[in-house]
Amino acid sequence: MTEFKIDVKKLVFHKEGDTGDFIKYEREKCDGCGMCVLVCAASLWSVKDGKAKLAPRYGERCMECAACWDICEREAIDFSYPASGTGITIKYG
Amino acid sequence: MEKYDVVVVGGGPGGAYAAKTAAEKGLKTVCFERGELPGEKNSSGAGLGTRWWRDFPEIMGRLPDLPSYRKIDMIVIKVVDEENRLRLVQGTTGSDRDGSRHSGSLDKGMAGTSIYRRDLDPLIADLAVAAGAELRTSTLVTDVIMDAGVVTGVRTEKGEEFKAEVVIAADGAMSTVARKAGMRNRWGGGCTLVPQVDFACDRKKLDAAVGNAEWCWFGPFNGAYQINFSESFHLGAGQWLRPDWDTKPQDVLNRVMEIPAFRQFCWLVEAEPREFQSHMLPWLKQPPKTYAGGVMLVGDAAGFPCPLDAEGIWHACMSGRIAAETAAWAISKGDVSERALAEYERRWKASKLGDEHRFGPEFVDVWDHSIFDPELMKKLIQFLLEFSELHPFAVLFDWSDDHVNCLNQHMEHLMDIMPEFSDFGKKYLQPLSSAISPQLVRRVLLQAKLKMPLVRSLSDDLFLKILARLNRRVATALDNPRWR
């Protein structure tokens, strides 16, 4: 029988072009709780030495859901959108 | 600097419908969309219920020509147990065949439409342009211009400034405009995150397997929706973004995709996952303040999705329409101050949109305290199995009328055919008690009375009077001021 597991890398599509820096992270405010790691479907966040760390080329993978911004109780994460015409594109529906 | 009467931020359904309405009112209107096309950044369920025919016939009439269209007559609920076995398949009532009439009657349940946002959003944007609004795509609004606490325009990523009498923010759950205008920040637990996967499949086989139905999957794990399009379907499931979030978003779906019955279905229709996305969806008890000086929030930006089932596109279009009408009224008066725009909140609260939110806390509570609780879910499954010929889920999944009316109709129906429902209702639907009409509360109590040998002989009125004396909640429910 068909068996599925979601492979995010294969199932998310992005446009070419420089997204700019649209996630701002204030390290001092972070308490390393790791909620950003958990809610991010694109796995852009990790926790090292008690502090969250954002993947360097996150613009190429971010799905623009902004869950990291909404979940962060310390308000260490600020989210805007990538430059227009760049970032995720819904290819099918 | 260019000057407009109305600047709309966001070209999704709420923004485009606001722009359409504003242009029809003769206002000079521009709508900014960050994608190269409206809908390019958006994906949701997305099913449109029967009330769309009543409120937006100009949109509904055009949908059958679009590639992803599937007509929907009913919802099929599939319930699995702890061992992933399919235990119950339950169809809600079907609809009248023409599907084009708004119907509040139970016999004519739900009819609607599945449509991709990629199809729907450009269609509404086209209607806005046809009405005379200007649409600027590939334009990201990054800030608002404020003057003495009043929003007077917006600034784009390129530093261009656009002045406006009124700004309508339809820029989604993360609303840049709402945040920059100082109206709010994080949702703080009121917003869900919805992972969703799009499956491609064989069109004819999908027709044969699902017909004109949406599917829902329920089990001790949670609930998931399956929206069926012409040759594809969406599987999605939301959960509130709160500190108790304990899994990766995609794992919620991976769990559903383990159900053998789901895998069989996928094999049957030759389904393959082809796209994944994750989006925020506000699911609030009540929207926070929806206006400030020079600005009104619509759709997800305002937190309007239905407190009962988080449907949101109808709410976006309704609030967009009301915001644009209020803008026209305020501009003609020459007053767009916060005080003047309070009219927006008065108007939406008095509309069908307001009806939807009148019992918001009760609707959200019923999910919050019940269906997302695995233990209760087990009991609920047992309950459903015991009464499998009935359709209690229809309580939650009828789109045929405004949801608060549906809820009462269905409760009443259930009481007619199943007196046992009063026990279940007392236990598990308690959080909904103030959303239930006093007449229904009366019936629940009187049915309970019949089972009490000692008090059975009392007259109904005396029994209720004593009960109301003894219990303040009963008294409030029987004299519910919100039903006046």
Cα(A1)–Cα(B257) distance, integer angstroms: 12
Cα(B256)–Cα(B237) distance, integer angstroms: 9
Contact in structure between B68 and A93 (CB atoms under 8 Å): yes
| pLDDT given for residue B412 in this prediction | 67
pTM of the model: 0.84
| pLDDT given for residue B405 in this prediction | 65
The tokens for B393 are 């889920």
Which has more pLDDT, B453 or B170? B170
Contact in structure between A41 and A71 (CB atoms under 8 Å): no
Closest CA to B102 of B395, B405, B440: B405
Instruction: Give the least confident one: B133-147, B257-271, B331-345, B461-475.
Output: B461-475
Contact in structure between B70 and B229 (CB atoms under 8 Å): yes
Which H/E stretch holds residue B463?
helix B460-470
Q: What burial letters (b/e) apply to B309-343, b meaning 16+ CB within 10 Å?
A: bbbbbbbbbbbbbbbbbbbbbbbeeeebeeebbeb
Residue A56 touches chain B, beta carbons under 8 Å: no
Residue A64 touches chain B, beta carbons under 8 Å: yes
* Chain B closest-CA separation from residue A77 CA (Å): 10
pLDDT over 80 at B411, yes or no:
no
pLDDT digits (tens, 9 = 90+) for A62-80: 999 999 999 999 999 999 9
Residue B260 touches chain A, beta carbons under 8 Å: yes
Residue A16 touches chain B, beta carbons under 8 Å: no
| CB-based contact A6 B117, cutoff 8 Å | no
Angle between the N-to-C axes of helices B374-386 and B421-428, in degrees from 0 to 180, rounded to the nearest 10: 170
User: Which residue in the set A3, A35, A70 is minimally distant from B187, CB to CB?
Assistant: A70
Q: Percent of chain B beyond pLDDT 90?
A: 55
Give Cβ neighbours of residue B307 (< 8 Å, ≥ 6 apart).
B283, B284, B285, B286, B356, B357, B359, B360, B361, B363, B364
Residue A76 touches chain B, beta carbons under 8 Å: no
Residue A2 touches chain B, beta carbons under 8 Å: yes
Cα(B23)–Cα(B16) distance, integer angstroms: 10
pLDDT digits (tens, 9 = 90+) for B52-84: 888 998 998 899 999 999 988 778 888 888 888
pLDDT digits (tens, 9 = 90+) for A8-42: 999 999 999 999 999 999 999 999 999 999 999 99
* Chain A closest-CA separation from residue B198 CA (Å): 7
Q: What burial letters (b/e) apply to B424-442, b meaning 16+ CB within 10 Å?
A: bbeebbebbbbbbbbebbe
Contact in structure between B197 and B254 (CB atoms under 8 Å): no
As for the ipTM of the complex, it is: 0.96
| pLDDT given for residue B373 in this prediction | 61
Give Cβ neighbours of residue B459 (< 8 Å, ≥ 6 apart).
none
Secondary structure E strands in A1-93: 14-15, 23-25, 45-48, 51-54, 77-79, 87-88
* Chain B closest-CA separation from residue A70 CA (Å): 5
